[in-house]
């Protein structure tokens, strides 16, 4: 049954909205999203939207997860940093794509729950509890960095931890209603290409190079 719901999610929500990377579509067709949401919401796991996962946080809309993974152009063997583990779903999809994933979550309860969930489901993801705006000094540099919460500006630590050729996909903006989803690709030690993908609405990225607290700044 969930296999059929996943197939429909892939066809109706992802392909129909322009996702074409076969590896993203296949990976999302394999990860059981219902295992990443609270039991009471399991029947809504394949609906086209974000869902509450507790602690005031959400698992992102499937389309947005797919859009970010496609924009990050993750290849098997890539070293990927996932900032904002949340439920662990996006990390699991990236792991299904054959990447090596480190994930970082500031909320200890969510981070620990995601670590246990990913392990129980057999996903090899290293989950750290901490401030993802600082990235992870080790094992940086990363081929791709995905940030699932909105920053006021692009954290310098994350730019610095991109490998040459690496891609950072991050929502940036100063209001809660809308932020710019941006893709920043590192061309050289000092040069970056920066493009706007689309407008999105994410929860705030809170930390040293993010917002000061849950209410701070983001309107
Ligand atoms: N990717 C997640 C998933 O698949 O369930 C959804 C992430 S949710 C939209 C955003 C997450 O970012 C929240 O769990 C929040 O606690 C976390 N977060 C916010 N600021 C953070 C920071 N500085 N470092 C790490 N995580 C942060």
Q: Is 3.40.50.150 the CATH classification of the domain at 63-200? A: yes
pLDDT of residue 55: 87
Catalytic residues: 60
C-beta of 158 in contact with ligand 1 (< 6 A): no
Q: What is the mean pLDDT of residues 122-144?
A: 97
Instruction: Look at 60-64, 140-144, 199-203, 214-218 and tell me which has the smallest mean pLDDT.
Output: 214-218
What are the structural domain ranges in the chain? 63-200
Instruction: Give ipTM to 2 decimals.
Output: 0.99
The strand pairing partners of 181, in sequence order, are 171, 198
- From start to end of the chain, where are the E strands? 51-54, 57-59, 79-83, 100-105, 125-129, 142-147, 162-172, 179-186, 192-200
202 Cα: distance to centroid of ligand 1 (angstroms) = 9
């Amino acid at each position: 049954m969930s296999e059929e719901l996943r197939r429909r999610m892939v066809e109706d929500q992802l392909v129909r909205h322009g996702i074409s990377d076969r590896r993203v579509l296949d990976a999302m067709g394999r990860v059981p999203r219902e295992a990443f949401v609270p039991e009471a919401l399991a029947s809504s796991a394949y609906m086209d939207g974000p869902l509450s996962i507790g602690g005031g946080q959400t698992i992102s809309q499937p389309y947005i997860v797919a859009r970010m993974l496609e924009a990050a152009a993750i290849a098997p063997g890539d070293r990927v940093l996932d900032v904002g583990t949340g439920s662990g779903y996006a990390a699991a999809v990236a792991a299904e794509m054959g990447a090596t994933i480190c994930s970082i979550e500031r909320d200890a309860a969510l981070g620990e729950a995601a670590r246990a969930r990913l392990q129980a489901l057999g996903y090899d993801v290293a989950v750290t509890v901490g401030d993802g705006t600082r990235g992870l000094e080790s094992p940086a540099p990363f081929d791709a960095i995905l940030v699932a919460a909105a920053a006021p500006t692009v954290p310098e630590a994350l730019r610095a931890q991109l490998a040459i050729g690496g891609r950072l996909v991050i929502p940036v903006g100063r209001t809660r209603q809308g932020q710019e989803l941006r893709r920043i690709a590192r061309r050289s030690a000092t040069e970056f290409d920066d493009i706007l993908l689309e407008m999105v609405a994410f929860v705030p990225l809170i930390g040293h190079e993010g917002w000061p607290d849950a209410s701070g700044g983001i309107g």
